[in-house]
Chains A and B, each alone.
Chain A
Amino acid sequence: MALELRDIHKSFGDTRANDGVTLTLESGAIHGLLGENGAGKSTLMKILSGYIGADSGEIVLDGTPLRLSAPRDAIRAGIGMLHQDPLVFLPFTALDNLLLGAPAASAKDRKGARAELGRARERFGFALDPDATVRGLTVGERQQLEITRLLWLGARILILDEPTTGISADQRTTLFEALRSLASEGMTVIFVSHKLEEVEDICADVAVMRRGRVVGTSAMPCPSDRLVQMMFGKVLVEAEPPAVEPGEVVLRLEDVTVADRGLATTDLTASVRASEVIGLAGLEGSGQRTFLRACAGLVHPEHGRILLGDRDMTGRGLEAFLAAGVHYMPAGRLEEGLVSGLTIAEHVALVTGNGRFGIDWKQATDEADRRIERFSIRGSASSPADALSGGNQQRLLLALMPPDVRLLLMEHPTRGLDIESADWVWTQLMERRRQGTAIVFASADLDELLRYSDRILVFFSGRVLRTLDARGTSGEELGALIGGKEAVA
């Protein structure tokens, strides 16, 4: 018995989330699916479980093509997905949650559901109180409930999307035991993760995804550095950036702890000098964004101090940071940078019109034309920002940057750009650096980090795992550190 994915394609707008994925998964084993955030793992698994439809491609189970237009179709075919945040109804009891997902015929079968929970306790050691409301359960217990439910519904293929996030070590042991026992009974388990150690721990084989494609498969065990190389690509650092003598200290963080949307980022200590480029490495959500947002005055430290030059800026707001020459360019170009529906000329007027009451549209349009030419933006003064391609949006954002930036904070400066645009962006940034701007950027691209940074801060689970000199670091070393493995050299 085997599950085959054949040439799966899925695009969201211009982004190719899955770009021809072909994969065969035998039953009776735990299969790892590795890849960094944005590699396309979740999209693929959502297609497999019927949550979203593929643009093209086939899913074949035991030689029969499946038509999955809803999760219900998938579960009928025996495919069940455990989401990163278990989809449960918080105010209901564990028993009711089980019944809610049940097919209509058994919806009143409270006895059967209770017995099922009992069986799960015996088989896997899932200690769930049927009458406890789910709100009071931990994430790990909610997971156990969801697994019980999927098995009760007849799942033969179990997909787990980053299942170890937010659960305790004991619960992880219980979970892994349960998965091993299910695999030994002939079930197919797909274990989606970006944590190398866990994949090494329980998977029989692994497929690695990068940029929407499966870039390699391997039986386990497999050396970490090979997995890292598959995840991040062959890292060839070609050019050293032109050395610029760093100036005075522009930014200093002293033992800063920040909490942003639930994630605490702790013990940040760093110092950035003028004309320095600092790369922030790490899996998405490891604290890089929080670091940047704290340096822009968007979140305030609970502990520690942030200084710009000699000025203590701790607790000051965005306006104070902007006035002090800080400029923040977040990853979402249309979400947090540009304004959809406003034209290039209107954007130029927005950033140049400070202190004025009226707008001289002639002047704004002329200025927009000048910037369009200087930053080679493909568009006209009257093009709305959302009509531009990603690369041109990034060019526009650079064109809108104020002239006197002392500290530039960027997230993913070249994400989604073609090579030419990416090179061009970095030429601009390096020019800024020559003029004395300090640059701190977060990136998932090891090549970019190693090529342009002077130093790299590697983030893992909300803290800086290591500070590296970019010039003495190999791609393998950086990749392993990002995956949380300190020992690999």
Chain B
Amino acid sequence: MNTAEAARRIGTRLTTSLIPILLALAVVVGLLAAVGAPPFTALGYVWSGAMGGSSQVGDTLMAWVPLTLAGEGLVITFAAGLWNIGIEGQIVMGAIAATWVARIGPDMPFVMLLLMFLAGAAGGALWALLAGVLKTKGRVNEIFGGLGLDFVAAGLAVYLIIGPWKREGIASTSGTEIFRPSANLPVVGTTRLSLVAVAVAIASVVLVWLLMRGTMFGLRLKAVGRNPASARLMGIRTDRYLLGAFGLCGVLAGIAGTIQVAGVWHKLVPSVSGGYGFLAILVALLAAFRALRVPPIALFFAIASVGSAQLTLLLYLNSAIGGVLQAVVVLFVILAGGWQLRRLSKRRSAAAAEAGAPATVAELQASGPAAPVETSGTTGV
């Protein structure tokens, strides 16, 4: 490939990822102006609220950790062609399992946390496998099965908090008893930042990247996700690989849930997942299900989430503006992907008319479809 071609490819990449983000920012600026808030001041508050000091950076990173873990888990399930909407419930079940260990486990510094992580991973995996079995054995679409299981997990958490695991003398949805010190992740200074949590998240990025890139499991998973019929005839037991994908995703979600209780709340609360599971679906979408693209996008989402909380305090605005920003970015990126696909198919038919032969898909791919273009192909529902 010559340099001009390479430059064009990079150019297309940049336009397809930058333009949607700029457009989304423009929409948010317009919205802020419409409600009478100074837009740029507000966005400045968002930034300083997320990155303005070590405490803020710590909070942002602690939001980045579950988003990254869940996002990486979704890279696996999306590769298998699954919409694992149940990931929210899988985080909650991980948190519940970890809390159970925190309540009854041995009060020993290192051992306790290790057991909590193991239990959390198992809890998330079991909940994911349940959605998987519903799909493979019961023919229940994973979206509906997962969504149902999300509600069950949330209900179970509330039941435990106001029932069996209620605090001495009172039953309140504010949460269970605070964990013993051995069940809490060590933090850096006065921030809430846990280096263990960050390390686990980084490890998940590397492991998922290796899994999808260099293992037969990852390759077979892709084959199953893209064409179950062909994969089946190649002798791949598709059901097993679907369950494997669910299980691995559940492990990562369960670890995210464990970090939520051991590192953020230090107890089980009803909203323990913080909606990070659903948000991670958007992260994974924007990352086009590529393991290495998840962390930066998760960081953007973490900044928007944590920073927009400042708006309530400083400008008396509803912090939902952060959610709006995230959602609008996703919509624009998907729109840009669809728009580019249209442009490519037009260019192809024009080229075909000119040359008298249809352009190959290789040519189309060489011209660099943006991330979301691929997603529509990988995970068409």
Q: Is A318 an interface residue (CB 8 A)?
A: yes
Asked if B4 CB lies within 8 Å of chain A CBs, one says no
Per the 8 Å Cβ criterion, residues 375-422 of A in contact with B are 379, 383-384, 386-387
Binary flags per residue of B213-242, CB closer than 8 Å to A gives 1, else 0: 011110110110011011111111100000
Within 8 Å of chain A (Cβ to Cβ): is B2?
no
Nearest CB of chain A from residue B6's CB, rounded to whole Å: 16
A-B contact count (CB 8 A): 74
- Residue A154 at the chain B interface, CB threshold 8 Å: no
Chain B residues with CB under 8 A of A335: 227, 229-230
A-B contact pairs, 9 of them (CB 8 A): A322-B235, A334-B227, A335-B229, A336-B233, A339-B230, A342-B219, A349-B216, A350-B223, A350-B236
Residues of B close to A328: CB separation below 8 A: 233
Tell me, yes or no, whether B362 is within 8 Å of chain A by CB: yes
Given contacts A332-B229, A336-B233, 15 further A-B contacts (CB under 8 A): A318-B233, A328-B233, A338-B227, A340-B227, A342-B219, A342-B226, A346-B219, A349-B216, A349-B219, A353-B216, A353-B219, A359-B219, A361-B214, A384-B362, A387-B362
Q: 1/0 per residue A309-338: CB within 8 Å of B?
A: 000000000110010000010101011111
- Interface centre among B222, B229, B230, B237, by most chain A C-beta atoms within 10 angstroms, is B230
How far does the alpha carbon of A477 sit from the alpha carbon of B229 in the complex, in Å? Answer: 37
Q: Establish whether residues A318 and B229, one from each chain, have CB atoms under 8 Å apart when the complex forms.
A: no
For residue B3, CB closer than 8 A to chain A, the reply is no
Q: Please list the residues of chain A having a beta carbon within 8 angstroms of any beta carbon in chain B.
A: 13-14, 318-319, 322, 328, 330, 332, 334-342, 346, 349-351, 353, 356-359, 361, 379, 383-384, 386-387
Q: How far, in angstroms, from A357 to B220 measured CA to CA in the complex?
A: 11
Whole-angstrom distance between the alpha carbons of A351 and B233 in the complex?
Answer: 11
Please determine whether A356 and B233 come into contact, CB atoms closer than 8 angstroms.
no
Cα separation A295 to B365 with both chains bound (whole Å): 38
| Contact partners of B230 in chain A: CB under 8 A | 335-339
* A356, B222: Cα distance in complex, Å: 16
User: A365 to nearest B CB, angstroms?
Assistant: 13
Q: How far is the CB of A333 from chain B (nearest CB, A)?
A: 9
Known: A356-B216, A358-B214, A359-B215. A339 touches B226 (CB 8 A): yes
Give the interface SS of chain B, mostly helix, strand, loop or mixed. helix
- Interface contact B233-A342, CB-CB below 8 Å: no
- In the assembled complex, how far is the CB of residue B236 from the closest CB belonging to chain A, in whole angstroms? 8
B235 touches A318 (CB 8 A): yes
Residues of A within 8 A of B190 (CB): none
Using known A-B contacts A336-B229, A337-B233, A357-B215, determine if residue A342 contacts B361 with beta carbons closer than 8 Å.
no
Q: Which residues of B lie under 8 Å from residue A332 when comparing CB positions? A: 229
For A13, the chain B residues whose CB sits under 8 A away are: 358
Tell which of B217, B223, B236, B362 touches A383, judged by Cβ atoms closer than 8 Å.
Answer: B362
* Shortest beta-carbon distance from B228 to chain A in Å: 10
Does B378 belong to the interface (CB within 8 Å)?
yes
Find residues 125-149 in chain B having any chain A CB closer than 8 Å to their own CB.
none
Contact A319 B226 (CB under 8 A): no
For residue B358, which residues in chain A have a CB less than 8 angstroms away from its CB? 13-14
- Provide the residues of chain B in CB contact with A379, threshold 8 Å: 362
B361 adjacent to A386 (CB under 8 Å): yes
Contacting pair B233 A350 (CB below 8 A): no
